[in-house]
Amino acid sequence: MYDAPGVGLAAPQVGMPLQLAVVEDKPEYTRDAPAGFTKERERKPIPFHVVVNPQITLLDEPNIEFFEGCLSLAGYTALVPRARRVRVECLDHNATPITIEASGWYARILQHEIDHLYGTVYIDRMYSRTFMTVENFNRYWKDRSIADVRKTVGWNQDLTERS
């Protein structure tokens, strides 16, 4: 996770058949981000923590879209709709039951990592027309808002058809 760098890693990604994921979003990961990047994504630093046997409840519809990547699919990205808010009931690193209420980017990370525990990766949820290499994303899209991406490519509300 740190080598990539990534913000989460699920045990199945490294061949471990466990319902366990680790999450951390370090402040330095967004230090050089374009203006508005962290605000639009509701992204704040998240300290390192472990979630074991998580049960997730979406508290909103999955209608917030941002580009996601994955350490299991290195070099690619796509727009993925996720719920803005979630509740996760799990055990922590000491096997103590905890409940996490998360929103914004933190909620996205939890949904992404917990998906891995059930054999789902972001390409199973992505808008397929937005799938691209990270190189193309960095060249053409990284400094644009999601609204600008939608406007530029002329997609309707659900991104399943072109306008």
Is residue 10 within 8 Å of 20, Cβ to Cβ?
A: yes
Q: pLDDT tens across 37-56, in order?
A: 788 888 999 999 999 999 99
Residue 33's pLDDT is: 78
- φ, ψ of residue 107 to 5 degrees: the values are -60, -40
Active-site residue list = 113
**What's the pTM?**
0.90
Answer yes or no: are the C-beta atoms of 154 and 162 closer than 8 Å. Answer: yes
Bond from prior residue into 97 cis (ω within 30 degrees of 0): no
Report helix, strand and coil shares of the chain as percent, to nearest 5.
Answer: 30, 35, 35
Return the pLDDT at 158: 55
Q: How many CA atoms lie within 13 A of 107 on its CB side?
A: 24
Report the pLDDT value the prediction gives residue 162, as an integer from 0 to 100.
41
pLDDT in tens, 68-108: 999 999 999 999 999 999 999 999 999 999 999 999 999 99
**Which whole number is the average pLDDT over 135-142?**
92
Helix (H) or strand (E) holding 41: helix 37-41
Q: Distance between CA atoms of 138 and 91, rounded to whole angstroms? A: 37
Domains in the chain, start-ordered, CATH in brackets?
A: 8-144 (3.90.45.10)
Task: Using a pLDDT cut of 70, give the percent of the chain over it.
Answer: 93
Rounded Cα distance, 124 and 118, in Å: 12
- The answer to whether the Cα torsion of 39, 143, 148, 85 is positive or negative is negative
Alpha-helical (H) ranges within 3-145 are 37-41, 104-117, 134-136
